[in-house]
């Protein structure tokens, strides 16, 4: 029974018998070893690949630089000015606003209604939940491709419906008037199930006695819903809104197979705008400026929202 | 209370409304998916006139050609390698950090934890250009690790939070008793914490896997060689080559999302729990 030293590299050794004789209290030694062995990998990876690049984006955004050699051509805040003077930037920002509006006005009520219906037990409820959740786990790329088929003016489902009415099928994704609308429909299709699941999880965690009490006091179904159930769901609704907004600011993969942000930048989101104008052309300074603006929007939003709406959670 | 009684009768308008509403949503969700699956069995000519219905001639050839092509399997293999790397590294690195945050009190612990959770606030895309330059300078461009390491870094925040909450629920008396018996922290982690935490490890692993399996932007930026492409990149290339031969593209889409759907059916408990857990208790 040799006393073992905590810092020996015994991690990988298959040694299951703990020596009962070597009595040691919780010592600073063992904890220190854990501290210097267990924490650095996470901190290092996170700093290297998440935090540093944000700082570097701020630095690079002051240069006119194509990514090769060292950044030398200092231009101050010009990149930010160029971004703000680009019409496509404001279009992308507007589109992100539209996505948020649709999430709040259509997706959220839809998700809530479905959750209220499917939180009850009946035959097929679980199957329907799974079906509605399925689009959420499909890759955005695959979803985008499926819908570029659905919208296809020659072979697609929409075209076929149009033709049965004898009308000339539209090319929805190729027109600046309809491209963004088409993208918005796909967004609802893909994400309502996620929000529905959030609500179902919340509904199942509700205190049933409150609802029963309201019913016993003579409240009708709709009164119970409006004055008891929905207020109890407020935290989840706030959370769902938070995810809808954060998700809109990240949206990229879905747009690429559908429209690539086009035609004429009419369906760009912030990230696809960043990709099309910064990344794909290796305009590091310009692209970094867009990234910094996006970062500022995300962080400002997250902190403000948490402070105003989620203070108690 | 007449309301409660009428819900039992089969002709209640509320029930009828509910059923038809659910049916409409189910059709809205199902039709694009079924049309994709069936479209892969049609010829291009039939797809044009009959995109909705069952194929009149089942063209097994479309699917067979893809299943017997090296290309399809190479894409899945690349995706599997990247996702497995990401999941393994995330689980190791995140559970070690979570263990430290859960069981060891030290100066600056809560500060470091909030530092890590900063990762939840912004998308990877914001700094993807500097990230590209960093990965290039590290010599990892066009390698699996060049995609996997940033993915691990970005999945750390959520993973550490979820794991730490679970680890903290392991009774402190258990740790105390183990320490008194001469068990080190590291052994406790290896032989007590990890085995007890299988459910949460499965959940975190599943979320990380799904995210990595579906990822597009990072591999798009980090990889240049077709032979290394994971399937989301590969399918975009495929679509570019067969631009309007939709029957082939639909078959390809079906076969590439098949693994996700199978995984979903097998591990739906973990997927639903994981993808909504961070949210509900967050």
Domains of chain B with bracketed CATH: 2-63 (no CATH), 70-281 (1.10.3720.10)
Task: Band the pLDDT of A34: cuts 50, 70, 90.
Answer: confident
What is the C-alpha separation between B20 and B26, in angstroms, rounded? Answer: 10
3-class state of residue A63 by DSSP: strand
Per-residue pLDDT tens digits for A152-207: 888 888 888 888 888 788 888 988 889 999 999 999 999 999 999 999 988 988 88
Find the residue in B nearest to A283 (Cα). B129
- Architecture per CATH, domain A78-139+190-309, reads as Orthogonal Bundle (1.10)
Q: Do A20 and B249 touch (CB under 8 A)?
A: no
Distance in Å from the first CA to the final CA of chain A: 50
Query: Which residue of chain B comes nearest to A242, CA vs CA?
Result: B279
Most B CBs within 10 A among A11, A16, A50, hence the mutation to make, goes to: A50
pLDDT for A115: 94
Closest CA relative to residue A259, chosen from A157, A159, A145: A145
Taking Cα atoms as reference points, which of A201, A291, A297, A239 lies closest to residue A103?
Answer: A239
pLDDT digits 0-9 by tens, B71-127: 999 999 999 999 999 999 999 999 999 999 998 888 888 899 989 988 888 888 888
Average pLDDT over residues B157-184: 88
B276 and A198 Cβ atoms separated by less than 8 Å: yes
What would the mean pLDDT of B164-193 be, rounded to a whole number?
88
d(CA B14, CA B17) in angstroms, rounded, equals: 5
* CB-based contact B210:B158 (threshold 8 Å): no
**H/E stretch holding B153:** helix B144-168
Q: Report residue B145 CA to chain centroid gap.
A: 18
pLDDT of residue A273 exceeding 90, the answer is: yes
Between A35 and A23, where is the model more confident? A35
What is the residue-averaged pLDDT of chain A? 85
B276 Cβ under 8 Å from any chain A Cβ: yes
User: Roughly what angle, to the nearest 10 degrees, separates helices A125-137 and B13-39?
Assistant: 40
Domain boundaries, chain A: 78-139+190-309
Neighbours of B273 (CB within 10 A): 21
Pick the residue with more confidence: A9 or B255? Answer: B255
- Which pLDDT value is given to residue B279? 52
Contacts of B59 (CB under 8 A, 6+ apart): B41, B42, B43, B247
Chain A residues lying within 8 Å of B92, measured CB to CB? 41
Residue-wise pLDDT tens digits, A59-82: 999 888 887 777 878 888 888 998
Q: Which residue has the tokens 């000519």?
A: B45
Q: What is the pLDDT of residue B9?
A: 53
- Identify all chain A residues contacting B256, using CB atoms and an 8 Å cutoff: 142
Token digits of residue A72: 């030398």
A-contacting residues of B 58-77, CB under 8 Å? none
Partner residue facing B160 (CB), from A11, A42, A220: A42
Q: What are phi and psi of A264, to 5 degrees?
A: 50, 45
pLDDT at A28: 56
Q: What is the distance in angstroms between the Cα of B82 and the nearest Cα belonging to chain A?
A: 15
B177 close to A (CB below 8 A): no
Question: Are the beta carbons of A150 and B119 separated by less than 8 Å?
Answer: no
Give residue B277's pLDDT band: very low, low, confident or very high (50, 70, 90): low
Instruction: Fill in the DSSP letter of residue B98.
Output: H
Q: How far is CA A209 from the centre of its chain?
A: 35
Phi, psi dihedral angles at B216 (to 5 degrees) = -125, -50
């Amino acid at each position: 029974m040799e006393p073992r030293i905590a810092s020996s590299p015994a991690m990988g050794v298959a040694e299951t018998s703990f020596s009962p004789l070597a009595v040691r209290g919780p010592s600073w030694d063992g904890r220190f070893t854990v501290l210097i062995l267990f924490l650095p990998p996470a901190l290092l990876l996170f700093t290297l690949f998440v935090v540093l690049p944000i700082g570097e984006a701020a630095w690079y955004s002051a240069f006119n630089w194509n990514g090769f050699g060292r950044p030398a051509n200092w231009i101050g805040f010009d990149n930010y000015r160029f971004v703000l003077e680009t019409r496509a930037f404001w279009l992308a920002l507007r589109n992100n606003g539209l996505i948020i509006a649709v999430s709040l006005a259509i997706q959220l009520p839809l998700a809530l209604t479905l959750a209220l219906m499917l939180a009850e037990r009946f035959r097929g409820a679980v199957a329907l939940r799974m079906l509605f959740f399925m689009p959420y786990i499909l890759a955005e790329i695959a979803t985008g491709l499926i819908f570029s088929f659905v919208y296809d003016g020659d072979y697609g489902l929409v075209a076929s419906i149009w033709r049965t009415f004898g009308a000339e099928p539209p090319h929805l994704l190729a027109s600046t008037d309809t491209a963004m609308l088409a993208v918005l429909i796909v967004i609802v299709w893909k994400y309502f199930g996620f929000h529905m699941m959030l609500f179902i999880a919340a509904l199942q965690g509700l205190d049933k006695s409150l609802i029963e009490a309201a019913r016993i006091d003579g409240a009708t179904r709709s009164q119970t819903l409006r004055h008891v159930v929905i207020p109890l769901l407020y935290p989840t609704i706030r959370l769902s809104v938070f995810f809808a907004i954060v998700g809109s600011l990240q949206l990229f993969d879905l747009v690429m197979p559908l429209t690539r942000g086009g035609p004429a930048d009419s369906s760009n989101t912030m990230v696809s705008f960043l990709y099309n104008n910064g990344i794909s052309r290796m305009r590091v300074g310009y692209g970094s400026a867009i990234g910094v603006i996006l970062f500022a929007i995300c962080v400002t939003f997250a902190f403000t929202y948490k402070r105003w709406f989620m203070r108690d959670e | 209370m007449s309301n409660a009684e009428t819900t039992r009768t089969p002709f209640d308008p509320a029930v009828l409304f509910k059923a038809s509403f659910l049916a409409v949503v189910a059709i809205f969700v199902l039709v694009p998916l079924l049309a994709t699956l069936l479209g892969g069995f049609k010829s291009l000519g039939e797809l044009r006139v009959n995109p909705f219905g069952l194929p009149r001639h089942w063209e097994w050839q479309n699917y067979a050609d893809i299943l017997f092509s090296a290309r399809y399997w190479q894409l899945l293999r690349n995706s599997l390698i990247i996702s497995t790397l990401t999941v393994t590294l995330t689980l190791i690195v995140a559970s070690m950090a979570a263990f430290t945050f859960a069981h060891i009190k030290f100066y600056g612990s809560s500060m470091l934890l909030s530092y890590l959770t900063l990762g939840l606030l912004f998308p990877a895309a914001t700094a993807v250009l500097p990230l590209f330059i960093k990965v290039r300078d590290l010599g990892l461009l066009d390698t699996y690790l060049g995609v996997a390491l940033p993915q691990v870094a970005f999945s750390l925040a959520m993973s550490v939070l979820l794991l730490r909450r679970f680890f903290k629920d392991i009774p402190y008396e258990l740790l105390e008793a183990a320490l008194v018996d001469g068990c080190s922290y590291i052994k406790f982690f290896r032989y007590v914490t990890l085995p007890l935490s299988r459910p949460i490890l499965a959940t975190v692993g599943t979320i990380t896997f799904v995210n990595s399996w579906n990822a597009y932007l990072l591999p798009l930026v980090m990889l240049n060689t077709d032979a290394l492409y994971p399937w989301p990149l590969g399918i975009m290339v495929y679509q570019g080559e067969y631009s309007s031969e939709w029957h082939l593209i639909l078959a390809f889409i079906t076969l590439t999302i098949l693994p996700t759907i199978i995984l979903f059916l097998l591990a739906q408990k973990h997927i639903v729990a994981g993808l909504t857990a961070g949210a509900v208790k967050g």
